[in-house]
Chain A
Amino acid sequence: MDQPILLDETDRRIIRATQAGLPVVLRPYHAIAEKLGLTADEVMARIEDLIEFGIIRRIGVVPNHYKLGYTANGMTVWDVPDEQIDELGMQVGALDCVSHCYHRPRHLPQWPYNLFAMVHGRSREEVEAKAKTIAGLLGEHNRANLILYSTRILKKTGLRIGD
């Protein structure tokens, strides 16, 4: 998992040309090909390979949570036993209300939490109700938990990768 895959310069040019987005025109892959001096068939074949190798997770829209009324952005964090975290993480990640779920390291004593699950809601009440669902699922394995709300966006740019 997460093995770097050998990309050549053409792959990287395609990545650079598409990481800000896909052109919203009739033939977007042709538009990219023209810009890069490649054939459309080559661009499409390489993009399909990038999907196949998991370098592209998916092609689609990224909704702006805030604009859609999902203004309560709660990072729920949980202290669960390391021995069970993979099994518990899979169960939490499978919940519909969880958009991202990760195992991350603790930083004791300030930070005892090792399971992170991002929950979006229209209100804090909605996020809290969803956190209760997670708590119910974790049961006795949940030794401590918190919900951290974002109070301000300090910076938001796309990831700059492939340069």
Chain B
Amino acid sequence: MNDIDRAIINGLQGGFPVCERPYLAAAEKLGLSEEELIERLQCLLDNGTLSRFGPMYHAERLGGALSLVAMEIPAADFDRVAEQVNAFQEVAHNYARDHALNMWFVLATEKPERKDQILAEIERVTGYPAYDMPKLAEYFVGLRLEV
């Protein structure tokens, strides 16, 4: 990681401009040239240092539902259930975590009423209860990652 990469990661976590030549405007702020920014940004995306670049959408304000769901799955069944859960396209991220509730995934549906249907379907297919933990309030969402 060089200084240019660091400047891009630290300086471009938000506020990317909306104008004809936004990379030019953003590059000036970062002390880079437009070509440098475009080239390095593509490189950071290609090598996986950045998982994404673009607008972050607020799912609930688009009219959909978003929730965090936890399940308690015995080790012997874990891979089978992970595969079944991951097969739902509404499951965006799924993490194994070190707790009795050992599977945690984010469920995003376009229509709010679909969420309960999908949860019921997941419980039916896997044979285990799914604990729905939708957010009741949000105190901060962002990223202040410094590299």
User: Which residues in A have some Cβ–Cβ distance to B below 8 Å?
Assistant: 2-5, 7, 15, 18-22, 24-30, 40, 44, 47-48, 50-51, 53-65, 67-68, 70, 73, 75, 85-86, 89-90, 92-94, 96, 98-105, 107, 110-111, 116, 120, 146, 148-163
Tell me how far the C-beta of A122 lies from the nearest C-beta in chain B, rounded to whole angstroms: 11
Total A-B pairs in contact (CB under 8 Å)?
A: 256
Q: Is the CB of A150 within 8 A of B97?
A: yes
Residues on B with beta carbons closer than 8 Å to the beta carbon of A103: 135-139
Q: Which residues of B contact A (CB under 8 A)?
A: 1, 8-9, 12-16, 18-23, 34, 38, 41-42, 44-45, 47-64, 66, 68, 70, 72, 82, 85-86, 89, 91-101, 103-106, 108, 110, 131-145, 147
Question: Is there an interface contact between A56 and B135, defined as CB atoms closer than 8 Å?
Answer: no
Which chain A residues border B53 with CB–CB below 8 Å? 21-22, 24, 60-62
- Chain B interface helix/strand/loop/mixed: mixed
B16 touches A63 (CB 8 A): no
The answer to whether B20 touches A63 (Cβ under 8 A) is no
State the Cβ distance, A3 to closest chain B Cβ, in Å. Answer: 7
Beyond contacts A61-B8, A161-B110: 15 other A-B pairs, Cβ-Cβ < 8 A, are: A5-B63, A25-B38, A29-B18, A47-B18, A56-B57, A63-B51, A64-B48, A86-B137, A102-B138, A105-B134, A151-B98, A153-B96, A154-B103, A157-B92, A158-B52
Contact A24 B38 (CB under 8 A): yes
Distance of A5 Cα from B44 Cα, bound (Å) = 34
Q: Which 6 A-B residue pairs are closest in the complex by CB-CB distance? A: A93-B140, A93-B139, A58-B14, A4-B63, A22-B54, A89-B139
A90-B138 Cα distance, complex, nearest whole Å: 9
Q: Are B97 and A57 in contact (CB under 8 A)?
A: no
Residue of A nearest to B79 (CB): A154
Bound state CA distance, A153 and B108, in angstroms?
Answer: 17
Nearest-neighbour CB distance to chain A for B138, whole angstroms, equals 6
Point out the residues of chain A lying under 8 angstroms from B45, CB to CB: 21, 24
A150 to B135 alpha-carbon distance, docked (Å): 20
Q: Are B61 and A55 in contact (CB under 8 A)?
A: yes
Residues of B within 8 A of A58 (CB): 13-16, 55-56, 142
Central interface residue in B38, B95, B100, by most chain A CB within 10 Å: B95
Q: Which residue of chain B is the closest to A150 with respect to CB atoms?
A: B95
Contact partner of B133 (CB less than 8 A), chosen from A5, A105, A161, is: A105
- Nearest B residue (CB) for A62: B52
